[in-house]
Amino acid sequence: MIPTSFPPKAEIARLSARMLLEIGAVHFNAKEPFKLASGLPSPTYIDCRKLISYPRIRSTLMDFMACTVMRDAGFEAFDNIAGGETAGIPFAALIAERLGLPMTYVRKKPKGYGRNARIEGAMTEGQRVLLVEDLTTDGGSKLSFVDAIRDTGAQCGHTAVIFYYGIFPDTEERLGAHGIQLHHLCTWWDVLAEARASRCFDDETLTEVERFLNAPRVWQDAHPFAD
């Protein structure tokens, strides 16, 4: 069903952060940092994949995402919803259902046999495609997915995610230079504010997380992994 209620963006951000905290998708550990896909350390880690196991939260967040993209991009802005392999696939299916649109998905690379395709499902030239994923850090993976979509002759100028790190200042500029507008529900700053309000982490941990969020590269340089 297409959402017809449009909560303020600040309320969407607060509630989205609260839901991520409630299901234990947020992990803070400054003493034993997590290793990111980049190989760099971080006192924060988020697992948006857990959301698919919580129907009430999953449904609410997908309503939030649907109304966010309609409000920000337009009510008739898209013809196709594409999920990025793999975490974006279930969320793309749920958004496509809400907006009454076809759903496809984009592989990270050609599968190496058969049609050797990157796009699965029916995507046609000229279609306006919304790329859906669970999160974005610096936007790098989005560029590859968007290029694969555009290679079909379709258009892709928008990507929507549940969670956006919001701490690397060049992310939106990087996406914008590629002709992509980012839509998101919440950031690390929203999660930090809600974590403080709910007191679900100790003050020392939250203070260290805030140091990281204010200067992630500086924090990473100061906390290298042991050889």
**Interval 57-74: pLDDT, tens:** 999 999 999 999 999 999
SS3 115: coil
Note the pTM of the prediction, 2 decimals. Answer: 0.94
Architecture of domain 9-222: 3-Layer(aba) Sandwich (3.40)
* pLDDT value for 114: 63
How many other C-beta atoms are found inside a 10 Å radius of the C-beta of residue 38? 11
Q: 52 pLDDT band (50/70/90 cuts)?
A: very high
CA R_g for the chain: 18
Predicted confidence (pLDDT) at residue 4 exceeds the cutoff of 80? no
pLDDT tens column, 153-179: 999 999 999 999 999 889 999 999 999
For the segment 51-58, the average pLDDT, to the nearest whole number, is 98
Element (H, E) at 114: none
Within 13 A of 121's CA, how many CA atoms are on the CB side?
19
Domain map of the chain by residue range?
A: 9-222
Nearest alpha-carbon partner for 65 in 92, 46, 83: 92
Nearest alpha-carbon partner for 71 in 146, 9, 157: 9
